[in-house]
Amino acid sequence: MNKYKANIKITLREGILDVQGKTVEHALHSIGFESMSAVRIGKFVTLYIQAESESTAMNQIENACKQIIANPIIEDYSIEITKAE
Amino acid sequence: MKFGIVVFPGSNCDHDAYHAASVNAGFGAQYLWHKDTLIPDDIDCIILPGGFSYGDYLRCGAVAQFSPLMKEVKKFAENGKFVVGICNGFQILTETGMLPGALLKNENLNFICKDTNLKVISNDSAFTSAYKKGDVINIPIAHGEGNYYADADTLKMLEDENLIVFKYSSHDGIIEKQYNPNGSVNNIAGIISKKGNVLGMMPHPERYSDKQLGCNDGVNIFKSIARSLS
């Protein structure tokens, strides 16, 4: 068994209005950062997993994302895995 | 007729739902702890009440959907029995996939707690038959994530199959953006499942079921359910 660390990024799907992002964008513009646009706000989840291989770990985390960590109706997610010491 | 009201850690409208179902509507009611693994045989309708189950951690309703009793609630609905999700209960129903779509943050980012006018879009349902189609009822909302979202195909299906039961409107029934408190697509406030036995709505009918509180427009939802059982 190996131990892996996963970093999971979750954002609202493209095309869904991110009202938090919009609000932060307005705030950025109001303090002089007019060149910034398309602000999107998401969640960041880290976890450790014991698995035989990186691909097994990836499969399990994919399943966890689909079932609970993200809501695929409104959210996209990306997973990065590294081997943990 | 007996209602079973599921209590999750963080539910805070369970007692209001109990009061509305029993004292106001005049039916039996019983609390069901979310860790129970059995729904008693005499329960005719499950209510998933409002509140902040599991602190709304991760997403509203995301954790509650895996409470042991929810497995039974799904089977209960698959067998055609009635399930009502109010506010956080609606969020739980969308997270489980028992109702389509999802609830996003309110468009203005505020937690909104106020009375809203709802137009009864369809009274051809087990939950709304005691209203007349086109009635405008006064029901309060209290949520931060009540902005109903569904993709274009799902929306079309909801409209075509007459599954939208309530929309936010003016007091005289005009459905326009300015009467939409939270940004919900097409002003949707409540929907039912394809089979017609699951209702999800963000407004709180249990909070306006007692005349002493100034309005009892919500009690007819409880009465409609009993009527469809008789």
Q: How do residues B99-148 score in pLDDT, each as one tens digit?
A: 999 999 999 999 999 999 999 999 999 999 999 999 999 999 999 999 99
Instruction: Determine contact, residues B48/B84, Cβ cutoff 8 Å.
Output: yes
Contact call for A19 and B101, based on CB within 8 A: no
Concatenated DSSP letters of chain B:
-EEEEEE-TTB-SHHHHHHIIIIIT--EEEEEETT-----TT--EEEE--B-GGGG-SSTTTTGGGSHHHHHHHHHHHTT-EEEEETHHHHHHHHHTSSSSEEEPPTT---EEEEEEEEE----STTTTTSPTT-EEEEEEEESS-EEE--HHHHHHHHHTT-EEEEEE-TT----GGG-SS--GGGEEEEE-TTS-EEEESS-GGGG-BGGGTB-TTHHHHHHHHHHH-
Strands A2-12 and A75-83, bridge-based pairing? antiparallel
Average pLDDT over residues A42-70: 97
ipTM above 0.90, yes or no: no
- Give the count of domains, chain A: 1
* Inter-chain CB proximity A74 and B149 less than 8 Å: yes
Average pLDDT over residues B81-85: 98
Q: Which domains does chain B have, with CATH numbers?
A: 2-229 (3.40.50.880)
| Catalytic annotation, pick one of B45, B87, B143, B145 | B87
Residue A55's domain spans which residues?
2-83
Q: What is the pLDDT, as a whole number, of residue B20?
A: 98
The Cα–Cα gap between B131 and B120 comes to: 7
Asked if A17's CB is within 8 angstroms of B107's CB, the reply is yes
Confidence class for position B162, pLDDT limits 50, 70, 90: very high
Q: What average pLDDT does the structure give for chain A?
A: 96
* CATH code of the domain in which A48 resides: 3.30.1280.10
Provide the pLDDT for residue B230: 83
Q: What is the pLDDT of residue A85?
A: 78
**Known catalytic residue at B204:** yes
Residue in A20, A43, A68 closest to B109 by CB: A20
CB atoms closer than 10 angstroms to residue B165: 26
